[in-house]
Structure 1
Amino acid sequence: MERLRLNTDQARNLCELYEKLNRREYVHPDPLEFLYDYPDLRDREIVGLIASSLAYGAVRQILRSVRTVLQRMGESPRDYLGIATQSSLCREFRDFKHRFTTGEELATMLLGAKRVIETYGSLGGCFVQGMESQHETVIPALTYLVRELSRPFQGRPRSLLPSPELGSACKRLNLYLRWMVRRDRVDPGGWDSISPRHLLIPLDVHMFRISQWMGLTLRKQANLRTACEITAAFRKIEPEDPVRYDFALTRLGIRDDMNPEEFLRTCGG
Protein backbone atom coordinates (compact mmCIF):
# COMPACT_ATOMS: atom_id res chain seq x y z
CA MET A 1 0.00 0.00 0.00
CA GLU A 2 1.27 3.48 -0.86
CA ARG A 3 2.55 5.37 2.13
CA LEU A 4 0.44 8.25 3.37
CA ARG A 5 1.91 11.67 2.76
CA LEU A 6 1.34 15.35 3.39
CA ASN A 7 -0.06 17.44 0.57
CA THR A 8 1.42 20.76 -0.52
CA ASP A 9 -0.95 22.89 1.55
CA GLN A 10 -0.32 20.83 4.67
CA ALA A 11 3.44 21.09 4.22
CA ARG A 12 3.23 24.85 3.79
CA ASN A 13 1.01 25.23 6.86
CA LEU A 14 3.37 23.12 8.92
CA CYS A 15 6.31 25.32 7.95
CA GLU A 16 4.35 28.40 8.96
CA LEU A 17 3.35 26.78 12.25
CA TYR A 18 6.98 25.88 12.94
CA GLU A 19 8.18 29.43 12.35
CA LYS A 20 5.43 30.80 14.56
CA LEU A 21 5.54 28.41 17.53
CA ASN A 22 8.96 26.76 17.61
CA ARG A 23 10.29 29.33 20.06
CA ARG A 24 11.39 29.29 23.68
CA GLU A 25 8.57 31.59 24.77
CA TYR A 26 6.10 28.81 23.92
CA VAL A 27 7.86 26.06 25.90
CA HIS A 28 6.15 26.63 29.25
CA PRO A 29 4.39 24.55 30.46
CA ASP A 30 6.58 21.68 29.28
CA PRO A 31 9.14 19.53 31.16
CA LEU A 32 11.61 20.42 28.40
CA GLU A 33 12.16 23.75 30.19
CA PHE A 34 14.19 22.04 32.93
CA LEU A 35 16.93 21.08 30.46
CA TYR A 36 17.77 24.73 29.81
CA ASP A 37 19.14 25.07 33.36
CA TYR A 38 21.91 22.53 32.72
CA PRO A 39 24.56 23.64 30.21
CA ASP A 40 26.75 20.62 30.99
CA LEU A 41 25.67 17.74 28.75
CA ARG A 42 26.58 15.23 31.47
CA ASP A 43 23.90 16.77 33.69
CA ARG A 44 21.43 17.56 30.91
CA GLU A 45 21.10 14.00 29.66
CA ILE A 46 20.16 12.85 33.18
CA VAL A 47 17.70 15.71 33.62
CA GLY A 48 16.17 14.85 30.25
CA LEU A 49 15.70 11.22 31.23
CA ILE A 50 13.96 12.21 34.47
CA ALA A 51 11.80 14.92 32.89
CA SER A 52 10.67 12.78 29.96
CA SER A 53 10.04 9.68 32.08
CA LEU A 54 7.66 11.62 34.33
CA ALA A 55 5.95 13.38 31.41
CA TYR A 56 2.53 11.78 31.79
CA GLY A 57 -0.60 13.09 33.44
CA ALA A 58 -1.53 16.71 34.17
CA VAL A 59 1.23 19.08 33.10
CA ARG A 60 1.27 21.01 36.38
CA GLN A 61 1.80 17.79 38.30
CA ILE A 62 4.55 16.78 35.86
CA LEU A 63 6.43 20.04 36.44
CA ARG A 64 6.00 19.75 40.20
CA SER A 65 7.27 16.17 40.28
CA VAL A 66 10.29 16.84 38.06
CA ARG A 67 11.19 19.92 40.12
CA THR A 68 11.00 17.87 43.32
CA VAL A 69 13.38 15.23 41.98
CA LEU A 70 15.91 17.73 40.64
CA GLN A 71 15.94 19.77 43.82
CA ARG A 72 16.88 16.67 45.79
CA MET A 73 19.73 15.92 43.37
CA GLY A 74 21.37 19.33 43.82
CA GLU A 75 23.20 21.48 41.29
CA SER A 76 24.77 18.56 39.40
CA PRO A 77 22.70 15.39 38.85
CA ARG A 78 25.83 13.75 37.40
CA ASP A 79 27.79 14.38 40.60
CA TYR A 80 24.82 13.26 42.67
CA LEU A 81 24.59 9.90 40.89
CA GLY A 82 28.35 9.53 41.04
CA ILE A 83 28.29 9.17 44.84
CA ALA A 84 24.79 7.68 45.19
CA THR A 85 24.20 4.09 46.26
CA GLN A 86 21.16 1.88 45.92
CA SER A 87 20.29 2.40 49.58
CA SER A 88 20.81 6.18 49.45
CA LEU A 89 18.59 6.50 46.39
CA CYS A 90 15.85 4.46 48.04
CA ARG A 91 16.04 6.62 51.17
CA GLU A 92 16.05 9.87 49.21
CA PHE A 93 12.97 9.07 47.16
CA ARG A 94 11.02 6.73 49.45
CA ASP A 95 8.25 9.34 49.87
CA PHE A 96 8.15 10.34 46.19
CA LYS A 97 4.97 9.69 44.20
CA HIS A 98 3.94 10.74 40.70
CA ARG A 99 0.59 9.20 39.80
CA PHE A 100 1.41 5.47 39.65
CA THR A 101 5.19 5.97 39.71
CA THR A 102 6.59 5.19 43.14
CA GLY A 103 9.78 6.40 44.75
CA GLU A 104 11.13 2.87 44.56
CA GLU A 105 10.69 2.73 40.79
CA LEU A 106 12.27 6.16 40.32
CA ALA A 107 15.21 5.19 42.53
CA THR A 108 15.69 1.96 40.55
CA MET A 109 15.73 3.85 37.25
CA LEU A 110 18.30 6.29 38.65
CA LEU A 111 20.40 3.35 39.81
CA GLY A 112 20.21 2.00 36.26
CA ALA A 113 21.35 5.39 34.93
CA LYS A 114 24.27 5.43 37.38
CA ARG A 115 25.42 1.99 36.27
CA VAL A 116 25.04 2.84 32.58
CA ILE A 117 27.19 5.95 33.07
CA GLU A 118 29.82 3.92 34.91
CA THR A 119 29.88 1.34 32.10
CA TYR A 120 29.57 3.53 28.98
CA GLY A 121 30.73 6.94 30.22
CA SER A 122 27.35 8.55 29.61
CA LEU A 123 23.75 7.76 28.71
CA GLY A 124 24.49 8.99 25.20
CA GLY A 125 27.47 6.65 25.00
CA CYS A 126 25.20 3.71 25.76
CA PHE A 127 22.68 4.80 23.15
CA VAL A 128 25.36 5.14 20.47
CA GLN A 129 26.61 1.65 21.31
CA GLY A 130 23.27 0.28 20.13
CA MET A 131 23.20 2.28 16.88
CA GLU A 132 24.68 0.79 13.72
CA SER A 133 25.10 2.31 10.26
CA GLN A 134 22.44 0.12 8.66
CA HIS A 135 19.75 1.12 11.15
CA GLU A 136 17.09 3.33 9.59
CA THR A 137 15.54 4.45 12.89
CA VAL A 138 16.50 4.76 16.54
CA ILE A 139 14.46 1.68 17.50
CA PRO A 140 17.44 -0.71 17.90
CA ALA A 141 19.49 1.83 19.84
CA LEU A 142 16.54 2.75 22.04
CA THR A 143 15.91 -0.92 22.75
CA TYR A 144 19.55 -1.30 23.75
CA LEU A 145 19.45 1.75 26.05
CA VAL A 146 16.23 0.63 27.73
CA ARG A 147 17.64 -2.85 28.29
CA GLU A 148 20.74 -1.43 29.97
CA LEU A 149 18.83 1.08 32.10
CA SER A 150 16.40 -1.63 33.21
CA ARG A 151 18.94 -4.13 34.53
CA PRO A 152 18.42 -3.16 38.21
CA PHE A 153 14.70 -3.97 37.88
CA GLN A 154 15.66 -7.64 37.36
CA GLY A 155 12.50 -8.36 35.38
CA ARG A 156 10.12 -6.52 37.71
CA PRO A 157 7.38 -4.40 36.07
CA ARG A 158 8.44 -0.87 35.19
CA SER A 159 6.36 2.00 33.87
CA LEU A 160 9.15 4.51 33.33
CA LEU A 161 11.10 2.47 30.79
CA PRO A 162 8.82 0.88 28.17
CA SER A 163 10.59 -1.02 25.41
CA PRO A 164 10.03 -0.89 21.64
CA GLU A 165 10.47 -4.67 21.69
CA LEU A 166 6.91 -4.97 23.01
CA GLY A 167 5.42 -2.67 20.37
CA SER A 168 5.09 0.38 22.59
CA ALA A 169 5.23 3.77 20.86
CA CYS A 170 7.57 4.82 23.70
CA LYS A 171 6.29 8.39 23.52
CA ARG A 172 8.28 9.65 26.51
CA LEU A 173 11.53 8.02 25.44
CA ASN A 174 11.19 9.30 21.87
CA LEU A 175 10.52 12.73 23.37
CA TYR A 176 13.77 12.36 25.31
CA LEU A 177 15.62 11.49 22.10
CA ARG A 178 14.13 14.53 20.36
CA TRP A 179 15.46 16.76 23.11
CA MET A 180 18.92 15.17 23.11
CA VAL A 181 19.48 14.72 19.35
CA ARG A 182 17.86 17.78 17.74
CA ARG A 183 19.27 21.26 18.14
CA ASP A 184 17.26 24.36 17.28
CA ARG A 185 15.53 27.24 19.06
CA VAL A 186 13.69 24.78 21.31
CA ASP A 187 15.52 21.44 21.48
CA PRO A 188 18.94 21.85 23.17
CA GLY A 189 20.58 18.74 21.66
CA GLY A 190 23.94 17.35 22.76
CA TRP A 191 24.05 13.85 21.28
CA ASP A 192 25.58 15.16 18.09
CA SER A 193 26.77 11.81 16.73
CA ILE A 194 23.14 10.76 16.11
CA SER A 195 21.35 12.19 13.08
CA PRO A 196 17.84 13.60 13.56
CA ARG A 197 16.78 11.67 10.45
CA HIS A 198 16.64 8.48 12.56
CA LEU A 199 14.20 9.88 15.14
CA LEU A 200 10.59 8.75 15.58
CA ILE A 201 7.66 11.01 16.36
CA PRO A 202 6.80 11.03 20.10
CA LEU A 203 3.28 9.69 19.72
CA ASP A 204 0.83 10.74 22.43
CA VAL A 205 -2.94 11.16 22.24
CA HIS A 206 -2.70 14.72 20.91
CA MET A 207 -0.27 13.85 18.11
CA PHE A 208 -2.27 10.72 17.29
CA ARG A 209 -5.51 12.66 16.85
CA ILE A 210 -3.85 15.45 14.86
CA SER A 211 -2.20 12.88 12.59
CA GLN A 212 -5.52 11.11 12.04
CA TRP A 213 -7.25 14.39 11.19
CA MET A 214 -4.43 15.28 8.77
CA GLY A 215 -4.69 11.86 7.10
CA LEU A 216 -1.21 10.73 8.13
CA THR A 217 -2.37 7.39 9.54
CA LEU A 218 -5.31 5.05 9.12
CA ARG A 219 -4.36 2.97 12.12
CA LYS A 220 -6.59 2.80 15.21
CA GLN A 221 -4.00 2.31 17.94
CA ALA A 222 -1.21 4.67 19.04
CA ASN A 223 1.50 2.01 19.02
CA LEU A 224 4.99 1.71 17.56
CA ARG A 225 3.77 0.79 14.06
CA THR A 226 1.57 3.88 14.04
CA ALA A 227 4.45 6.08 15.19
CA CYS A 228 6.56 4.70 12.33
CA GLU A 229 3.78 5.34 9.80
CA ILE A 230 3.30 8.95 10.92
CA THR A 231 7.07 9.53 10.97
CA ALA A 232 7.30 8.18 7.41
CA ALA A 233 4.70 10.74 6.29
CA PHE A 234 6.68 13.58 7.85
CA ARG A 235 9.89 12.19 6.37
CA LYS A 236 8.45 12.77 2.89
CA ILE A 237 8.81 16.53 3.39
CA GLU A 238 11.64 16.56 5.97
CA PRO A 239 13.85 13.53 5.21
CA GLU A 240 16.68 14.76 7.44
CA ASP A 241 14.47 15.88 10.33
CA PRO A 242 11.10 14.08 10.38
CA VAL A 243 10.18 15.16 13.93
CA ARG A 244 10.83 18.84 13.18
CA TYR A 245 7.18 19.78 13.63
CA ASP A 246 6.49 17.81 16.81
CA PHE A 247 6.94 20.68 19.25
CA ALA A 248 4.83 23.14 17.27
CA LEU A 249 2.01 20.65 16.69
CA THR A 250 1.83 19.58 20.31
CA ARG A 251 1.49 23.22 21.42
CA LEU A 252 -2.00 22.98 19.91
CA GLY A 253 -2.98 20.40 22.51
CA ILE A 254 -1.01 21.74 25.49
CA ARG A 255 -1.47 25.50 25.55
CA ASP A 256 -4.81 27.11 26.38
CA ASP A 257 -4.14 30.04 24.02
CA MET A 258 -3.84 27.83 20.90
CA ASN A 259 -6.69 26.87 18.57
CA PRO A 260 -6.12 23.41 17.06
CA GLU A 261 -9.38 23.49 15.10
CA GLU A 262 -8.31 26.58 13.16
CA PHE A 263 -5.02 24.97 12.14
CA LEU A 264 -6.66 21.65 11.24
CA ARG A 265 -9.22 23.41 9.05
CA THR A 266 -6.40 24.93 7.01
CA CYS A 267 -4.97 21.43 6.64
CA GLY A 268 -8.21 19.90 5.48
CA GLY A 269 -8.78 18.18 8.83
Structure 2
Amino acid sequence: MAGRRLAEVKDVLEGLYAKYNHRCLIKPDPLQFVYRYSRPADMEIAGLLSAALAYGRVRQIEKSLSRLLAYMGDSPFDFVRDFDCSRREKLKDFKHRFTAGDDISDLLELLRDVLGRFGSIEEFFVRGCEPDDKNIIPALSKFCDSLYAMYAKRHNGRLSSGLKYLLASPVRGSACKRLNLFLRWMVRDDDVDAGLWKSVDPAKLIVPVDVHMGRLCKILGFYSRKTVSLSTAVEITESFIAVEPTDPVKYDFALSRIGIVENCNGNYRPDCENCGLLEFCSRRRD
Protein backbone atom coordinates (compact mmCIF):
# COMPACT_ATOMS: atom_id res chain seq x y z
CA MET A 1 0.00 0.00 0.00
CA ALA A 2 1.50 3.32 -1.09
CA GLY A 3 2.42 5.84 1.59
CA ARG A 4 -0.25 8.39 0.71
CA ARG A 5 -2.95 5.75 0.45
CA LEU A 6 -1.80 4.22 3.74
CA ALA A 7 -2.05 7.58 5.49
CA GLU A 8 -5.56 8.13 4.10
CA VAL A 9 -6.72 4.70 5.26
CA LYS A 10 -5.21 5.19 8.71
CA ASP A 11 -6.95 8.56 9.09
CA VAL A 12 -10.31 7.00 8.21
CA LEU A 13 -9.78 4.05 10.54
CA GLU A 14 -8.74 6.31 13.40
CA GLY A 15 -11.88 8.34 12.83
CA LEU A 16 -14.03 5.21 13.02
CA TYR A 17 -12.16 4.07 16.13
CA ALA A 18 -12.79 7.41 17.84
CA LYS A 19 -16.46 7.30 16.86
CA TYR A 20 -17.36 3.71 17.68
CA ASN A 21 -14.80 2.15 20.02
CA HIS A 22 -16.67 2.82 23.26
CA ARG A 23 -18.04 0.36 25.78
CA CYS A 24 -21.42 2.08 25.75
CA LEU A 25 -21.79 0.98 22.11
CA ILE A 26 -21.02 -2.72 22.67
CA LYS A 27 -24.62 -3.92 22.66
CA PRO A 28 -25.76 -5.97 20.70
CA ASP A 29 -22.26 -7.45 20.27
CA PRO A 30 -21.88 -10.76 22.19
CA LEU A 31 -18.97 -9.14 24.02
CA GLN A 32 -21.64 -7.52 26.20
CA PHE A 33 -21.99 -10.83 28.07
CA VAL A 34 -18.35 -10.74 29.18
CA TYR A 35 -19.06 -7.52 31.06
CA ARG A 36 -21.88 -9.05 33.04
CA TYR A 37 -19.12 -10.25 35.35
CA SER A 38 -16.32 -8.53 37.21
CA ARG A 39 -14.18 -11.53 38.14
CA PRO A 40 -11.66 -12.32 35.37
CA ALA A 41 -12.21 -16.07 35.75
CA ASP A 42 -15.93 -15.63 35.03
CA MET A 43 -15.26 -13.18 32.19
CA GLU A 44 -12.93 -15.65 30.49
CA ILE A 45 -15.49 -18.47 30.51
CA ALA A 46 -18.31 -16.14 29.44
CA GLY A 47 -16.07 -14.86 26.66
CA LEU A 48 -15.32 -18.25 25.15
CA LEU A 49 -18.97 -19.30 25.26
CA SER A 50 -20.13 -15.97 23.84
CA ALA A 51 -17.67 -16.18 20.97
CA ALA A 52 -18.44 -19.85 20.30
CA LEU A 53 -22.15 -19.07 19.85
CA ALA A 54 -21.60 -15.86 17.88
CA TYR A 55 -23.16 -17.13 14.68
CA GLY A 56 -26.62 -16.54 13.25
CA ARG A 57 -28.96 -13.61 13.79
CA VAL A 58 -27.93 -11.08 16.41
CA ARG A 59 -31.16 -11.33 18.42
CA GLN A 60 -30.98 -15.11 18.47
CA ILE A 61 -27.38 -14.96 19.70
CA GLU A 62 -28.41 -12.63 22.52
CA LYS A 63 -31.34 -14.85 23.45
CA SER A 64 -29.25 -18.03 23.45
CA LEU A 65 -26.42 -16.55 25.49
CA SER A 66 -28.82 -15.05 28.01
CA ARG A 67 -30.39 -18.45 28.46
CA LEU A 68 -27.10 -20.34 28.67
CA LEU A 69 -25.54 -17.97 31.19
CA ALA A 70 -28.73 -17.99 33.25
CA TYR A 71 -28.28 -21.76 33.63
CA MET A 72 -24.80 -21.08 34.99
CA GLY A 73 -25.86 -18.74 37.77
CA ASP A 74 -23.70 -16.00 39.23
CA SER A 75 -20.37 -17.60 38.34
CA PRO A 76 -19.70 -19.33 35.00
CA PHE A 77 -16.27 -20.31 36.34
CA ASP A 78 -17.75 -22.10 39.35
CA PHE A 79 -20.37 -23.77 37.16
CA VAL A 80 -17.67 -25.12 34.82
CA ARG A 81 -15.26 -26.06 37.60
CA ASP A 82 -17.94 -28.21 39.24
CA PHE A 83 -19.52 -29.46 36.01
CA ASP A 84 -21.05 -32.93 36.38
CA CYS A 85 -23.81 -35.17 35.05
CA SER A 86 -26.54 -33.22 36.80
CA ARG A 87 -25.39 -30.02 35.11
CA ARG A 88 -25.21 -31.78 31.76
CA GLU A 89 -28.83 -32.80 32.27
CA LYS A 90 -29.69 -29.20 33.09
CA LEU A 91 -28.40 -28.14 29.66
CA LYS A 92 -30.10 -30.97 27.77
CA ASP A 93 -32.80 -28.77 26.27
CA PHE A 94 -30.49 -25.93 25.26
CA LYS A 95 -30.38 -25.19 21.53
CA HIS A 96 -28.74 -22.51 19.41
CA ARG A 97 -29.12 -23.19 15.70
CA PHE A 98 -26.71 -26.10 14.99
CA THR A 99 -25.50 -26.29 18.59
CA ALA A 100 -27.30 -28.61 21.00
CA GLY A 101 -27.10 -28.82 24.76
CA ASP A 102 -24.83 -31.86 24.57
CA ASP A 103 -22.39 -29.91 22.38
CA ILE A 104 -22.15 -27.20 25.04
CA SER A 105 -21.79 -29.83 27.75
CA ASP A 106 -18.98 -31.51 25.84
CA LEU A 107 -17.17 -28.18 25.69
CA LEU A 108 -17.79 -27.47 29.37
CA GLU A 109 -16.42 -30.87 30.36
CA LEU A 110 -13.22 -30.09 28.48
CA LEU A 111 -13.01 -26.66 30.09
CA ARG A 112 -13.55 -28.24 33.51
CA ASP A 113 -10.50 -30.41 32.93
CA VAL A 114 -8.51 -27.45 31.61
CA LEU A 115 -9.34 -25.40 34.69
CA GLY A 116 -8.50 -28.31 36.96
CA ARG A 117 -5.04 -28.73 35.43
CA PHE A 118 -4.08 -25.18 34.45
CA GLY A 119 -6.34 -22.86 36.43
CA SER A 120 -7.45 -20.80 33.43
CA ILE A 121 -7.98 -20.97 29.69
CA GLU A 122 -5.13 -18.50 29.25
CA GLU A 123 -2.60 -20.75 30.97
CA PHE A 124 -3.72 -23.65 28.79
CA PHE A 125 -3.59 -21.57 25.60
CA VAL A 126 -0.14 -20.07 26.12
CA ARG A 127 1.42 -23.54 26.30
CA GLY A 128 1.11 -23.51 22.52
CA CYS A 129 2.66 -20.08 22.00
CA GLU A 130 6.21 -19.87 20.65
CA PRO A 131 8.25 -16.64 20.54
CA ASP A 132 9.14 -17.21 16.88
CA ASP A 133 5.54 -17.67 15.71
CA LYS A 134 4.67 -15.02 13.15
CA ASN A 135 1.08 -14.87 14.34
CA ILE A 136 -1.36 -16.59 16.67
CA ILE A 137 -2.41 -19.31 14.20
CA PRO A 138 0.03 -22.03 15.36
CA ALA A 139 -1.00 -21.51 18.99
CA LEU A 140 -4.68 -21.53 18.06
CA SER A 141 -4.18 -24.77 16.13
CA LYS A 142 -2.51 -26.38 19.14
CA PHE A 143 -5.29 -25.12 21.40
CA CYS A 144 -7.97 -26.75 19.25
CA ASP A 145 -5.98 -29.92 18.63
CA SER A 146 -5.32 -30.38 22.35
CA LEU A 147 -9.02 -30.06 23.15
CA TYR A 148 -9.91 -32.40 20.28
CA ALA A 149 -7.44 -34.97 21.64
CA MET A 150 -8.87 -34.69 25.15
CA TYR A 151 -12.36 -35.33 23.79
CA ALA A 152 -11.29 -38.19 21.51
CA LYS A 153 -9.50 -39.93 24.37
CA ARG A 154 -12.81 -40.15 26.22
CA HIS A 155 -14.83 -41.22 23.19
CA ASN A 156 -12.85 -44.04 21.57
CA GLY A 157 -11.07 -41.72 19.17
CA ARG A 158 -14.29 -40.15 17.94
CA LEU A 159 -14.69 -36.38 17.58
CA SER A 160 -18.17 -34.86 17.52
CA SER A 161 -19.16 -32.53 14.69
CA GLY A 162 -20.79 -30.21 17.24
CA LEU A 163 -17.54 -29.70 19.10
CA LYS A 164 -15.61 -29.17 15.87
CA TYR A 165 -18.08 -26.46 14.91
CA LEU A 166 -17.77 -24.69 18.25
CA LEU A 167 -13.97 -24.91 18.10
CA ALA A 168 -13.15 -24.52 14.40
CA SER A 169 -9.45 -25.22 13.92
CA PRO A 170 -7.18 -23.27 11.55
CA VAL A 171 -5.76 -26.61 10.44
CA ARG A 172 -8.88 -27.13 8.34
CA GLY A 173 -8.53 -23.75 6.63
CA SER A 174 -11.31 -22.06 8.57
CA ALA A 175 -11.04 -18.30 9.04
CA CYS A 176 -11.76 -19.09 12.73
CA LYS A 177 -13.75 -15.89 13.09
CA ARG A 178 -15.26 -16.80 16.45
CA LEU A 179 -12.07 -17.99 18.13
CA ASN A 180 -10.15 -15.00 16.78
CA LEU A 181 -12.94 -12.83 18.18
CA PHE A 182 -12.48 -14.45 21.59
CA LEU A 183 -8.74 -13.82 21.42
CA ARG A 184 -9.32 -10.17 20.54
CA TRP A 185 -11.56 -9.74 23.57
CA MET A 186 -9.09 -11.44 25.89
CA VAL A 187 -5.81 -9.98 24.60
CA ARG A 188 -6.52 -6.40 23.53
CA ASP A 189 -7.03 -3.84 26.27
CA ASP A 190 -9.03 -0.70 25.58
CA ASP A 191 -12.49 0.67 26.28
CA VAL A 192 -14.10 -2.20 24.36
CA ASP A 193 -11.81 -5.22 24.70
CA ALA A 194 -11.28 -6.72 28.15
CA GLY A 195 -7.51 -7.29 28.01
CA LEU A 196 -7.54 -10.11 30.57
CA TRP A 197 -4.67 -12.04 29.00
CA LYS A 198 -1.29 -10.39 29.55
CA SER A 199 0.87 -13.19 28.16
CA VAL A 200 -0.21 -13.00 24.49
CA ASP A 201 1.13 -10.30 22.16
CA PRO A 202 -1.67 -8.28 20.48
CA ALA A 203 0.58 -7.87 17.44
CA LYS A 204 0.12 -11.57 16.67
CA LEU A 205 -3.68 -11.55 16.61
CA ILE A 206 -5.62 -12.32 13.43
CA VAL A 207 -8.58 -10.21 12.34
CA PRO A 208 -11.89 -12.05 12.94
CA VAL A 209 -13.25 -12.21 9.39
CA ASP A 210 -16.72 -13.17 8.20
CA VAL A 211 -18.55 -12.13 5.04
CA HIS A 212 -19.50 -8.76 6.54
CA MET A 213 -15.99 -7.84 7.67
CA GLY A 214 -14.69 -9.22 4.39
CA ARG A 215 -16.94 -6.84 2.46
CA LEU A 216 -15.68 -3.83 4.40
CA CYS A 217 -12.04 -4.87 4.05
CA LYS A 218 -12.53 -5.32 0.32
CA ILE A 219 -13.81 -1.73 0.16
CA LEU A 220 -10.53 -0.68 1.78
CA GLY A 221 -8.60 -2.68 -0.80
CA PHE A 222 -7.19 -5.06 1.79
CA TYR A 223 -7.83 -8.22 -0.22
CA SER A 224 -9.24 -9.44 -3.52
CA ARG A 225 -10.20 -13.07 -2.87
CA LYS A 226 -13.73 -14.22 -3.64
CA THR A 227 -14.12 -16.42 -0.56
CA VAL A 228 -13.51 -15.97 3.15
CA SER A 229 -10.94 -18.43 4.48
CA LEU A 230 -7.93 -18.51 6.76
CA SER A 231 -5.80 -17.21 3.90
CA THR A 232 -8.22 -14.30 3.53
CA ALA A 233 -7.99 -13.50 7.24
CA VAL A 234 -4.19 -13.56 7.09
CA GLU A 235 -4.11 -11.32 4.02
CA ILE A 236 -6.47 -8.84 5.66
CA THR A 237 -4.44 -8.90 8.87
CA GLU A 238 -1.24 -8.18 6.97
CA SER A 239 -2.91 -5.12 5.46
CA PHE A 240 -3.87 -3.93 8.93
CA ILE A 241 -0.29 -4.55 10.10
CA ALA A 242 0.82 -2.00 7.52
CA VAL A 243 -1.52 0.48 9.21
CA GLU A 244 -0.98 -0.48 12.87
CA PRO A 245 1.94 -2.93 13.26
CA THR A 246 1.66 -3.51 17.01
CA ASP A 247 -2.13 -3.83 17.08
CA PRO A 248 -3.56 -5.07 13.76
CA VAL A 249 -6.95 -5.96 15.25
CA LYS A 250 -7.44 -2.50 16.76
CA TYR A 251 -10.09 -1.40 14.27
CA ASP A 252 -12.14 -4.61 14.16
CA PHE A 253 -14.92 -3.51 16.51
CA ALA A 254 -15.22 -0.05 14.96
CA LEU A 255 -15.41 -1.44 11.43
CA SER A 256 -17.99 -4.02 12.42
CA ARG A 257 -20.25 -1.20 13.66
CA ILE A 258 -20.62 -0.02 10.06
CA GLY A 259 -22.32 -3.29 9.25
CA ILE A 260 -24.38 -3.40 12.46
CA VAL A 261 -25.16 0.25 13.23
CA GLU A 262 -25.19 1.62 9.69
CA ASN A 263 -26.59 -1.57 8.09
CA CYS A 264 -24.04 -1.72 5.29
CA ASN A 265 -24.92 -4.48 2.83
CA GLY A 266 -22.52 -3.51 0.06
CA ASN A 267 -25.12 -1.64 -1.99
CA TYR A 268 -25.39 2.13 -2.28
CA ARG A 269 -28.13 3.89 -0.31
CA PRO A 270 -28.61 7.59 0.50
CA ASP A 271 -27.42 6.84 4.06
CA CYS A 272 -24.05 5.88 2.60
CA GLU A 273 -23.19 9.58 2.25
CA ASN A 274 -22.47 9.60 5.99
CA CYS A 275 -20.27 6.50 5.95
CA GLY A 276 -16.61 6.86 6.87
CA LEU A 277 -15.63 4.44 4.10
CA LEU A 278 -17.51 6.24 1.34
CA GLU A 279 -14.41 7.67 -0.33
CA PHE A 280 -13.04 4.14 -0.81
CA CYS A 281 -16.28 2.46 -1.85
CA SER A 282 -16.75 1.51 -5.51
CA ARG A 283 -20.54 1.60 -5.03
CA ARG A 284 -20.60 5.31 -4.22
CA ARG A 285 -22.39 7.79 -6.44
CA ASP A 286 -19.96 10.40 -7.70
* TM-score after normalising by structure 2: 0.88
Which one of 187, 197, 207 corresponds to residue 191 of structure 1? 197
The alignment partner of 2:86 has SS state of helix
User: Pick from 245, 250, 258: which aligns with 1:244?
Assistant: 250
Q: 2:180 aligns with which of 149, 174, 198?
A: 174
User: One-letter code of the match for 2:205?
Assistant: L
Is 1:267 matched up with 2:266? no
TM-fit CA distance, 1:156: 2.1
Number of corresponding residues = 266
Q: Does the alignment pair 1:93 with 2:91?
A: yes
TM-score with structure 1 setting the length: 0.93
Q: Summarize the Cα distance change of 1:102–1:260 in structure 2 as closer, same or farther, 3 Å threshold.
A: farther
SS in 2 for 1:175: helix
Give the Cα separation in 2 of the matches to 1:115 and 1:98. 24
- Tell me the alpha carbon deviations over residues 11-49 of structure 1, each in whole angstroms, 9 at most, x when there is no partner: 111111101110112111111011112221111110001
TM superposition shift of 1:189: 1.3
Largest Rg, 1 or 2: 2
Structure 2: stretches of 5+ with no match in the other structure = 153-157, 265-270
CA contact (8 A) 2:12 2:277 kept: no
AA aligned opposite 1:52: A
Flag as ranges the 4+ runs of structure 1 deviating above 6 A.
none
Residue in 1 that maps onto 2:267: none
Partner of residue 61, structure 1: 60
Cα-to-partner distance string for 1:74-99 (whole Å, 9 max, x where unaligned): 111111112112x2242011101101
Aligned to 2:15: 16
Q: Which moved more, 1:123-132 or 1:74-83?
A: 74-83
Matched, 1:233 2:239: yes
- 1:145: Cα distance to partner? 1.6
Q: Provide the rounded CA distance (Å) in 2 between the counterparts of 1:22 and 1:57.
A: 23
After TM superposition, list the pairs within 5 Å mapping 1:41-190 onto structure 2: 41-85=40-84, 87-150=85-148, 151-152=150-151, 154-157=158-161, 158-190=164-196
Structure with higher RCO (Cα < 8 A, 6+ apart): 1
Pick closer, same or farther for the CA change 1:211–1:197 going to 2, 3 Å: same
Contact 2:6 2:243 in 1 (8 A): no
In structure 1, how many angstroms separate the alpha carbons of the residues matched to 2:206 and 2:231? 11
Kept in 2: contact 1:34–1:47 (CA 8 A)? yes
Spell out, residue by residue over 1:58-89, the C-alpha distance to the aligned partner (whole angstroms, 9 max, x if none). 1011011011111111111111112112x224
Instruction: Tell me which amino acid in the other structure corresponds to 1:115.
Output: D
Contact in 1 for aligned 2:82/2:112 (Cα 8 Å) = no
Give the Cα separation in 1 of the matches to 2:29 and 2:62: 7
In structure 2, C-alpha distance between the alignment counterparts of 1:42 and 1:102, rounded to whole Å:
25
Q: Which consecutive unaligned segments of at least 5 residues does structure 1 have?
A: none
Q: Which amino acid aligns with 1:221?
A: T
Distance 1:103 1:89 in 2: 11
Q: Relative to structure 2, which stretch is displaced further, 13-22 or 148-157? A: 148-157
**Aligned CA distance change for structure 1 residues 260 and 28 (closer, same or farther; 3 Å):** farther
* Counterparts of residues 29-44 of structure 1 (less than 5 Å): 29-44=28-43
